[in-house]
Structure 1
Amino acid sequence: MIYGYIRVSTDKQTVENQRFEIKRFAKKRGMVVEKWTSETVSGTKKANERLLGNLLKKLNKGDTLIISELSRLGRNLLQIMSMLNYLMENETTLLTVKEGYELGNNINSKVLAFAFGLSAEIERNLISQRTKEALARKKAEGIILGRPKGLANLQTYKLYPHQLEIIELRNSGLSLEKIARKYKVNRSTVTKFITRINGEKRWQ
């Protein structure tokens, strides 16, 4: 089975240009596209959030998928690599009109996939390096990274709305376990809350 996939990012673009390109490309190779999938959606969306996801699931060993260019699969190199790997493992041939790529179960495809994989790894490393540099710069500027140190504001505690009642219950001799069960929290949560309120190190 020969499939054609078309994607445009906005409704102002037309799918007909890509359809024409794919039809002309297929004709030169003596092929006829039997089934078409076209959609208007951003390439940043994951495949399973697009019609492309359903199309990939339909492809079987020996099928051929024709697209106008690799960017139709997605805007992210890692995303595209994942799809190419899926197609190769599924032994589905992918043809691109503009780049002239032919990816299938052959040595050329594996070499090309290796090149894409290397590019993806480089991209990951660059992103990681940019992140580290940004963090280092913020640290040098005196910006505190991570969670703020020190005690949290008392009003952020889950038990804060019940503080007066909890103190009364505790003063009346009710155990921490029973207080915890009453408010459906852990014993340690009650302990920390009462400690904060009274300024004590530990309630026994």
Structure 2
Amino acid sequence: MNIAYIRVSTNKQELDSQKLEIMEYCHKNNIILDEILEVKISSTKSQEKRKIKDLKQKLKAGDLLIATELSRLGRSMLEIINLVLEFNSNNIKFLFLRQMELSNFNNPASKLILSVYAYLAENERDLISQRTKAGLENARASGKKLGRPKGSLNSIYDKDIDKIQTLLDKDLSIKSIWKLLYKDNGKSYDGLLWFIKKRKLKGS
């Protein structure tokens, strides 16, 4: 059985985006989905409300779980790690489309990579909140007008800016960050390098 798990807090557009990403991947790789579990609820809610318990009951040895990324399973680092290890010990295969390197869990580095991603998932929301507040306070203190400057452009890397900064703070090289986050997604190293320079991101 092949099951896709899709979860968002409130945004239907993001729900549709995740579903489209999964459907396109399955179409390209000749994977037939038997079921799609869609959940619109915060990751802070119980596993029962997030249908994680249903997911565990449905999945058997040899089955495949597909999600866009680890953070869809939860925000707690410990919870995410335990879920993935439980799936692996039960011989359940899994694909996280934005973290494809985790699909080969026989890789000696896979548990380290899992820990990094789980840490990022747990801290992403807090980091975004803290940096947004700090940025607004600094802007107000310096008398800057808030809001996006006229003619400014978003980068495809902006959604991952906190992940990138966290990895830079952990002294990972830009090349390592590219391999970890983007190599399998077809995004270029030069593009990431340009983004980091443009956003003036630096390690601690």
TM-score by length of 1: 0.52
Pairwise CA distance, 1:78:
0.9
| Structure 2 CA distance for aligned equivalents of residues 35 and 27 of structure 1 | 15
| Pairing 1:168-183 to 2, within 5 Å after superposition | none
The equivalences for 1:23-172 within 5 A come to: 23-103=23-103, 106-108=105-107, 111-117=109-115
Q: Which runs of 5+ in 1 are unaligned?
A: 122-204
Instruction: Quote the offset at 1:114 in angstroms.
Output: 4.4
Q: How much has 1:64 moved relative to structure 2?
A: 0.3
> Which amino acid is the alignment partner of residue 109 of structure 2?
V
Q: Structure 1 residue 36: deviation in Å? A: 0.8
Structure 1 position 120, deviation (Å): 7.2
Superposed CA offset, 1:127-170 (max 9, x none): xxxxxxxxxxxxxxxxxxxxxxxxxxxxxxxxxxxxxxxxxxxx
Supply the distance in 1 between the matched residues of 2:92 and 2:17 (Cα, whole angstroms).
Answer: 25
Seen in structure 2, the aligned counterparts of structure 1 residues 52 and 78 have a Cα distance that, compared at 3 Å, is: same
The one-letter code matched in structure 1 to 2:114 is F
The answer to whether the Cα contact below 8 Å between 1:69 and 1:99 also exists between their aligned partners in 2 is yes
Q: 1:84 to 1:24 in 2, by over 3 A?
A: same
Distance, in Å, in 1 between the alignment partners of 2:12 and 2:106 is 40
Secondary structure, in 3 states, of the residue corresponding to 1:46? Answer: coil
Counterparts in 2 of 1:11 and 1:114: CA distance versus 1, 3 Å: closer
Measure how far apart 1:119 and its partner are: 8.2
For 1:63 and 1:119, the matched residues in 2 are separated by: 23
4+ runs deviating over 3 angstroms: 11-14, 101-104, 114-121
Q: TM-score, normalised by structure 2?
A: 0.52
C-alpha separation in 2, matches of 1:119 and 1:69: 9
Q: Secondary structure at the match of 1:32?
A: coil
Bigger RCO of structures 1 and 2 (CA < 8 A, at least 6 apart): 2
Q: SS in structure 2 opposite 1:49?
A: coil
Q: Tell me whether 81-90 or 48-57 shows the greater mean CA deviation.
A: 48-57
Contact kept? 2:22, 2:67, Cα under 8 Å: yes
Q: Rg bigger for which structure? A: 1
Decide whether the 8 Å contact of 1:84 with 1:113 is kept in 2. no
Alignment partners' CA distance in 1, 2:106 and 2:28: 24
Please tell me the root mean square deviation across aligned C-alpha atoms, in Å: 2.4
Report % sequence identity. 31
What is the aligned residue count?
Answer: 119
Indicate if the aligned counterparts of 1:18 and 1:68 stay in contact, CA closer than 8 A. Answer: yes
Q: Do the aligned partners of 1:96 and 1:102 also contact (CA within 8 Å) in 2? A: yes
> For 2:48, what is the secondary structure of its paired residue?
helix
Contact 1:88 1:103 in 2 (8 A): no
